[in-house]
Amino acid sequence: MNLEIIKADMKRVEDRSFVGSTVFTLENHSSPYEITFFSTRGTEWDYSLSFAGEPGSEEQFLEVDALLENDDDVYNQLLDAALDTQEIPEEEA
C-alpha cells in the first residue's frame, strides 16, 4: 500500500512534552488522514488518528487504524516524518 506524506510537524511545548502530526494519503483511499503524536519525554508515543479534511469512509478509516496498530514500519515512517521537522533548541544541541 503506497503512502504519501503531505505535511508533518513536531514541536516541544512549554511543559517539555512533544506534540506533532503527520498528514498523509494512502493509495485507493478517498480521504487524507492526520495522525497526531504526543509524548512527555520523546520516547514513548501516544497517537490519535483522524481525517485530515472532510470525513471519508469509516471502513477505510478502520483499515488505516488497524494498519497503524499492526505495521510498525508504517507507524514509524509517519512518526519519523514528524520528528524530522523538529528544530532542536541550541541549549539541547
Enter the C-alpha cell of residue 44: 514513548
Interatomic CA distance for residues 69 and 52, integer angstroms: 19
pTM: 0.89
In this predicted model, what pLDDT tens digit does every residue of 26-80 receive, in sequence order? 999 999 999 999 999 888 999 999 999 899 999 999 999 999 999 999 999 999 9
- Predicted pLDDT of residue 89: 56
Kindly state the greatest CA–CA separation across the chain: 46
- Predicted pLDDT of residue 79: 97
Would you kindly state where each structural domain of the chain is located, as residue ranges? 3-83
Interatomic CA distance for residues 51 and 27, integer angstroms: 15
Interatomic CA distance for residues 70 and 72, integer angstroms: 6
Using alpha carbons only, what angle is made at residue 24 by residues 22 and 26, rounded to the nearest 5 degrees?
Answer: 150
